Structure 1
Amino acid sequence: MDKIVIGIIGAGRIGRLHAENIVQIPQVEIKTISDIFADNAREWAAQIGIPHVTTDYQEILNDSDIDAVFICSPTNTHAPIIKEAAKAGKHIFCEKPVSFSAEETKEALQVVKEAGVKLQVGFNRRFDHNFKKVHDTVKAGTIGDTHIVKITSRDPEPPPAEYIKSSGGMFMDMSIHDFDMARYVTGSEVEEVYVQGASLVDPVFAELGDVDTAVITLKFENGAIGVIDNSRKAVYGYDQRVEVFGSKGSVSIQNDQPTTAEISTAEGVFQDKPQYFFLERYKDAYINETHAFINSVLYNTPLVCEGNDGLQAELIAKAAKESFETGKPVKVANKQYTLN
């Protein structure tokens, strides 16, 4: 295979982002994009060279010319579409999470395995230059055995109430990226989770049974201890930092800024704030994850983020929610899950 034809399911913000990245890749053609509000996408699709827009994603799955699909629709549609796409013989890129139900995710992964197609889950931070450097440094043994992992992940603004209602909650929607990152940078599974959470940013979170602020403690199978702190509102920008401390040293990354200029005057020392929005902070990571998926389909290279990675992050998120609700540490279920 020297060229891949793609269909994109979902023309919202993330679907359009992926489409605009994909059209820059010479070996790839986007033939069709589907969205229930197709009329809103037609002009944009024509501008970037997508010839066909439809309201029915089945047209993509039934098109024998299409080799792979990007699933960028709402989370509650992911698992059913994954199963349909796999049975149709399409390779699959799916945004996180695969589903809100571990059992539903397992069913989807089983169908993928039986169909023999590839499935990459959209944990884009694995493809960020900073986080990848942490992962590579730990894997190389440079800092020795991992002892402590610290992850800070704070959004610049909380999402609207309508989004919160369907998001699956902070742990499944936001912290899930950090759960995946904890596994990625340590190379170890999480075996226990303990959470303290609160609604400090906006009372709407508590009204909807969610939290906007949390500190999450992790215990890893390799003996390491981790801590994640999350907030839905950091007034100074998108706060994304990691430190891994080990027996031979440590590795840490700081926030990306528009510039690294430091201005020193009698009034103080000033630097740029962090990048404000995730689309700015992770622009290159989204491009890199797309290239990785395309290369995997074209050249059969290993996937960096497989379906099981999606499942494990969901299992940690489920344990985190249970810990918050019960006030007790919770073991992560089925962390060694394997497909039949």
Structure 2
Amino acid sequence: MLRIGVLGCGRIGRMHAANIAAHPRTKLAAVYDVNRAAADEVAAMLGVSALASADAMFDTSDVDAVLIATATDTHVDYIERAVAAGKPVLCEKPIDLDLKRVDRCAANIRGTKLPIMIGFVRRFDPGHAAVRAAIHSGELGELHQVIITSRDPGMAPAAYIRVSGGIFRDMTIHDFDMARFMLGEEPVEVFATGSRLVDPGLMAETNDWDTVTVVLNTASGKQCIINNSRRAVYGYDQRVEAFGFAGMAISENRRAHEARLYAEGLTDRAQPYLHFFIERYREAFNAEIDDFVDAIESGRQPSVVFEDGRLALVLAEAAMKSVAERRVVRTSEIGGGNV
């Protein structure tokens, strides 16, 4: 049983802690949060220790690996400390909001053989993975376009929006990773447009957008179109479509069940979409842990590595520059090559 410690006991940290505790191949070793009450609550719920400091998580021999689900500005420090302590890492996205800081981290940990995994969990969704498999098997022929729809059920709290780093670094970054995952080529051009339609006041205050569209182009001409909204009244909207010379593959939304009701005055009434990411990607979060454990036990690198996190942030920076300057931005302007 791999003993994993969880840093961060907010919403996603609590979920990860519970998943690790229930997973057949892992044991929750300990938890830590700067909010001691939150850590104590999770620790009591799952029957583990709440450590008094992050140092204790890295120093103890009772923790084999760490999962980082703390505030984004702590990720780089904790990744570097985990590597120094010889502990494999699964870190939530993004690595950081500052690409230069990410590049310094890459330089500081270069040469390590430890598995360092970034939490782009959507790669592990069964439907999304099946679309990618159809692309790579050749069933769709030459790939022409990928279309990604990602819409939250409602605005995050204002306090979160203010520290999130903006929609491209916080929300669309999952879609940038999905684009790379599906395309099989690096996007070299980015064009983005943003609007303030859901909460114009908050978005203007934070110099952010709540409704965005992004077009990515690869060197060979493959396209990806991403559309995002911070508010979809009908639920959490997550779809991926791949279109090629010989066909199309679609990964649809998920519901609690697939029954449909047909009656006088209505047809095809169905259950609402699963509420948010924890419910929608439940299977994917478990598969992500499987991949992390497999990487550690086999000595291979995980399916989503540090550089994947870095290149998704490059695309986010390019999109921000594109919106600000109203032009196509080449990723080479941002730092698109590997460090």
Q: How high is the TM-score relative to the length of structure 1? A: 0.95
Letter in structure 1 aligned against 2:23 = I
* CA distance in 2: counterparts of 1:158 and 1:5, whole angstroms: 36
* CA distance in 2: counterparts of 1:195 and 1:58, whole angstroms: 41
* CA distance in 1: counterparts of 2:229 and 2:282, whole angstroms: 21
* CA distance in 2: counterparts of 1:74 and 1:43, whole angstroms: 19
- Is the counterpart of residue 77 in structure 1 residue 74 in structure 2? yes
* CA distance in 1: counterparts of 2:59 and 2:77, whole angstroms: 15
Aligned to 1:64: 61
Q: Please tell me the root mean square deviation across aligned C-alpha atoms, in Å.
A: 1.4
Cα distance, 1:134 vs. partner? 0.8
Cα distance, 1:179 vs. partner? 0.4
In the TM superposition, 1:206-285 aligns within 5 A as: 206-269=204-267, 270-285=269-284
Q: Secondary structure at the match of 2:22?
A: coil
* CA distance in 1: counterparts of 2:274 and 2:137, whole angstroms: 29
Cα 1:55/1:221, change in 2 over 3 Å:
farther
Cα distance, 1:285 vs. partner? 0.9
Query: Which of 89, 94, 107 in structure 2 is aligned with 1:92?
Result: 89
Q: Identity rate of aligned residues, in percent?
A: 37
In the TM superposition, 1:253-332 aligns within 5 A as: 253-269=251-267, 270-332=269-331
Query: Which of 189, 194, 197 in structure 1 is aligned with 2:191?
Result: 194
* CA distance in 1: counterparts of 2:111 and 2:100, whole angstroms: 17
Contact (CA 8 Å) 1:199, 1:211: kept in 2 or not?
yes
* CA distance in 1: counterparts of 2:163 and 2:237, whole angstroms: 24
Cα distance, 1:26 vs. partner? 3.8
Aligned to 1:114: 111
Contact (CA 8 Å) 2:122, 2:178: kept in 1 or not?
yes
In the TM superposition, 1:40-189 aligns within 5 A as: 40-50=38-48, 52-189=49-186
Letter in structure 1 aligned against 2:284 = A
Query: Greater CA deviation, 34-43 or 139-148?
Result: 34-43
Cα distance, 1:283 vs. partner? 1.0
Contact (CA 8 Å) 1:87, 1:111: kept in 2 or not?
no
* CA distance in 2: counterparts of 1:38 and 1:54, whole angstroms: 9
Aligned to 1:335: 336
Contact (CA 8 Å) 1:18, 1:290: kept in 2 or not?
no
Q: Deviations over 1:255-285 (max 9, x none)?
A: 1112212212221211222212111111111
* CA distance in 1: counterparts of 2:189 and 2:8, whole angstroms: 35
Aligned to 1:39: 37
* CA distance in 1: counterparts of 2:74 and 2:241, whole angstroms: 35
**Pairs aligned (count):** 335
Q: How high is the TM-score relative to the length of structure 2? A: 0.95
Cα distance, 1:23 vs. partner? 1.1
Query: Greater CA deviation, 181-190 or 220-229?
Result: 220-229
Give the unaligned 5+ runs of structure 2: none
* CA distance in 2: counterparts of 1:110 and 1:293, whole angstroms: 23
Cα distance, 1:29 vs. partner? 2.6
Q: Secondary structure at the match of 2:110?
A: helix
Give the unaligned 5+ runs of structure 1: none
Q: Secondary structure at the match of 2:111?
A: helix
Cα distance, 1:172 vs. partner? 0.3
Q: Deviations over 1:123-143 (max 9, x none)?
A: 000010111001111111110
* CA distance in 1: counterparts of 2:219 and 2:278, whole angstroms: 33
* CA distance in 1: counterparts of 2:285 and 2:82, whole angstroms: 22
* CA distance in 1: counterparts of 2:219 and 2:118, whole angstroms: 23
* CA distance in 1: counterparts of 2:161 and 2:16, whole angstroms: 23
Contact (CA 8 Å) 1:191, 1:332: kept in 2 or not?
yes
Contact (CA 8 Å) 2:142, 2:245: kept in 1 or not?
yes
* CA distance in 1: counterparts of 2:254 and 2:177, whole angstroms: 20
Q: Deviations over 1:130-187 (max 9, x none)?
A: 1100111111111011111111110000111100111000000000000000000111
Q: Secondary structure at the match of 1:114?
A: coil
Cα distance, 1:301 vs. partner? 4.1
Cα distance, 1:22 vs. partner? 0.7
Query: Greater CA deviation, 92-101 or 290-299?
Result: 290-299
* CA distance in 1: counterparts of 2:2 and 2:266, whole angstroms: 54
